[in-house]
C-alpha cells in the first residue's frame, strides 16, 4: 500500500493535467450542478499545482530568466484566447472586457505577486534583495505599456468616450508588441545578468546546485504545462456562471466576477513566485510578476486590436478616474520600491494595501 501511495504521489503531476483536461472536455459548455462545480473546482486546484510543478521543472532546465518567461507567456497566450472568445460571444456588453481583465492582471501582478513576494522574503531575511537594473527595466516597461494602452484612451478627443480611433489603436498595438519584444531581447540576450537572482551581498546566482532535468523530462513538462494551463483557464470559465450567481446573490457589482476569474488564472504564477521568494530568489518572483503584467498588456492589446476588425460594438480601453488613481499610485510606489534594490516588509505591505484597495473598490465602487 505504501509503495502504491509513493508511486501515485510521484506521478500526480503527470496525471492531474490529463484528468483536468478530461473533466474540461466533459463539462465544456454545460450548465453545472453544485456537485459538478465542486468536482471542477478540485480539478482546477490540482491543475494549478501541477502547472507550478512543471513550470519549475522547465525553469530548472533552461535557467533564469527563461523559466519565468515561459510561464508568463504561456498563461498570457491562453488568457488572451479566452478574452477574445468571450468578447466574440458577449457583443456590446463585453466592450470593456479587455480593459477590465488587463487592469485586473496589472493590479494583481504588480501589487499582489510583487507585494507578497517581497513580504515573504523580507520576513525571512529581514531585507529582500533584488537587481534594481533588471527590475527597474521591467517595471518601467509595464508602466509605459499601461499608460499608452489604458490611461491614454481616456484623454483622447477624436472619438467620444474612452476609446481609440482605428489609427490610434494600430499605434497602441504596434507599440505594445515592439516594447514587449525589446524587453524580451533585453531580458534573455543583451542583459540577462540583470534578471538573475542575487545574494544579500549583491552577487549574481547563475545556477542551482541540483542537477537539471533531462531534455526529455523538460519537454514532457512543457507539454503537460500547456495542458494544465488550458485546463486552468477553461475550468475557470466553466465555474464562472456559479461565481456570477454567487456574486449576484450577494448583491455585489458584476466587476467582482472579473477579479475572481483573474485571480484564478494568475494563481499558478502566484504560487510559483511565492515558492521562489521562500528560497530567497525574490528576483525570480519579480520576473514572474512583472513579466506577467507586461505580457498581459503586450499581447492582449494587439490581439483585441486585430479581433476588433470583425467584432461588433465599441472597444473601450480607457480607465475611469478611480482606476487611474490606483494605477498612478502603483507606478509611484513601485518606482520607489525598485530604486534601492532592497525592500523591507514595509514595501510589501504598501503594494498589498493597493491591491486591497482595488478589491474593496471593485466590491463597493
The string of DSSP codes covering 335-358 is HHHHTTSEE-HHHHHHHHHHHHHH
CA angle 201, 351, 63 (to 5 degrees): 45
Phi, psi of 343 (to 5 degrees): -140, 145
Task: Show the beta-strand stretches assigned E in the chain.
Answer: 128-129, 342-343
- Grid coordinates given for 118: 517581497
Residue 121 to residue 197: CA distance in whole angstroms: 13
8 Å CB contact between 328 and 174: no
pLDDT reported for residue 349? 95
Q: Which tens digits make up the pLDDT trace of 174-203?
A: 999 899 889 988 888 887 888 887 766 656
Residue with cell 527595466: 137
Residue 202 or residue 18, greater confidence: 18
Averaged pLDDT of the chain:
82
Q: Which tens digits make up the pLDDT trace of 75-134?
A: 777 667 667 766 666 555 567 777 888 898 899 999 999 999 999 999 988 899 999 999
pLDDT reported for residue 352? 96
Nearest alpha-carbon partner for 97 in 229, 265, 259: 259
- Grid coordinates given for 214: 533531462
Reduced to 3 states (helix: H, G, I; strand: E, B; else coil), residue 342 is strand
pLDDT reported for residue 158? 84
Residue 358 to residue 305: CA distance in whole angstroms: 26
Residue 308 to residue 59: CA distance in whole angstroms: 35
Phi, psi of 253 (to 5 degrees): -65, 155
How many independent structural domains does the chain possess? Answer: 1
8 Å CB contact between 68 and 284: yes
pLDDT reported for residue 332? 96
Q: Which tens digits make up the pLDDT trace of 130-141?
A: 999 999 999 999
Helices (H), 186-265: 215-249, 255-265
pLDDT reported for residue 31? 77
Task: Give, as one character, the DSSP assignment of residue 251.
Answer: T
Query: 3-state DSSP helix/strand/coil percent for the chain, to nearest 5?
Result: 80, 0, 20
CATH number reported for the structural domain that contains residue 323 in this entry: 1.20.1420.30
pLDDT reported for residue 1? 47
Residue 365 to residue 360: CA distance in whole angstroms: 8
Q: Which tens digits make up the pLDDT trace of 211-242?
A: 677 888 888 888 888 888 788 778 877 777 77
CA angle 214, 216, 222 (to 5 degrees): 105
Q: Is 110 exposed, middle or buried (0-12, 13-18, 19+ CB in 10 A)?
A: buried
Residue 114 to residue 271: CA distance in whole angstroms: 12
Quickly state the pLDDT bin for 339 (edges 50, 70, 90).
Answer: very high
Reduced to 3 states (helix: H, G, I; strand: E, B; else coil), residue 204 is strand
8 Å CB contact between 130 and 286: yes
| Structural domain span for residue 104 | 2-363
Residue 318 to residue 164: CA distance in whole angstroms: 8
Q: Kindly tell me if the per-residue pLDDT of 207 is higher than 60.
A: no
Cβ atoms within 10 A of the Cβ of 9, count?
9
Instruction: Give the CA count within 13 Å in the CB-facing half-sphere of 302.
Output: 17
Amino acid at each position: 500500500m505504501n509503495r502504491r501511495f509513493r508511486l501515485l504521489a510521484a506521478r500526480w503531476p503527470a496525471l492531474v493535467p490529463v484528468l483536468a483536461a478530461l473533466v474540461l472536455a466533459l463539462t465544456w459548455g454545460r450548465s453545472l450542478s453544485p456537485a459538478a462545480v465542486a468536482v471542477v473546482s478540485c480539478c482546477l486546484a490540482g491543475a494549478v499545482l501541477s502547472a507550478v510543478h512543471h513550470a519549475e521543472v522547465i525553469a530548472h532546465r533552461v535557467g533564469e530568466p527563461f523559466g519565468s518567461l515561459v510561464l508568463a507567456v504561456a498563461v498570457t497566450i491562453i488568457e488572451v484566447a479566452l478574452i477574445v472568445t468571450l468578447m466574440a460571444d458577449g457583443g456590446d456588453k463585453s466592450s470593456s472586457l479587455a480593459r477590465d481583465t488587463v487592469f485586473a492582471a496589472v493590479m494583481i501582478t504588480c501589487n499582489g505577486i510583487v507585494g507578497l513576494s517581497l513580504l515573504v522574503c523580507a520576513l525571512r531575511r529581514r531585507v529582500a534583495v533584488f537587481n534594481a537594473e533588471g527590475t527597474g527595466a521591467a517595471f518601467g516597461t509595464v508602466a509605459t505599456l499601461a499608460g499608452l494602452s489604458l490611461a491614454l484612451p481616456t484623454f483622447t478627443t477624436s472619438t467620444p468616450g474612452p476609446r481609440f480611433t482605428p489609427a490610434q489603436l494600430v499605434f497602441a498595438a504596434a507599440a505594445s508588441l515592439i516594447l514587449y519584444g525589446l524587453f524580451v531581447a533585453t531580458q534573455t540576450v543583451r542583459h540577462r545578468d540583470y534578471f538573475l537572482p542575487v545574494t544579500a551581498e549583491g552577487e549574481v546566482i547563475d545556477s542551482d546546485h541540483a542537477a537539471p532535468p533531462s531534455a526529455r523530462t523538460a519537454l514532457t513538462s512543457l507539454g503537460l504545462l500547456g495542458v494544465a494551463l488550458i485546463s486552468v483557464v477553461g475550468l475557470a470559465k466553466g465555474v464562472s456562471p456559479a461565481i456570477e450567481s454567487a456574486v449576484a446573490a450577494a448583491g455585489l457589482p458584476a466587476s467582482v466576477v472579473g477579479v475572481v476569474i483573474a485571480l484564478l488564472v494568475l494563481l499558478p504564477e502566484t504560487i510559483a513566485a511565492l515558492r521562489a521568494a521562500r528560497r530567497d530568489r525574490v528576483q525570480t518572483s519579480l520576473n514572474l510578476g512583472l513579466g506577467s503584467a507586461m505580457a498581459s498588456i503586450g499581447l492582449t492589446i494587439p490581439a483585441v486590436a486585430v479581433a476588433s476588425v470583425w467584432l461588433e460594438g465599441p472597444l473601450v480601453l480607457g480607465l475611469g478616474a478611480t482606476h487611474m488613481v490606483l494605477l498612478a499610485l502603483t507606478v509611484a510606489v513601485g518606482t520607489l520600491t525598485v530604486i534601492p534594490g532592497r525592500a523591507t516588509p514595509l514595501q510589501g505591505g504598501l503594494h498589498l494595501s493597493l491591491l486591497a484597495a482595488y478589491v474593496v473598490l471593485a466590491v463597493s465602487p
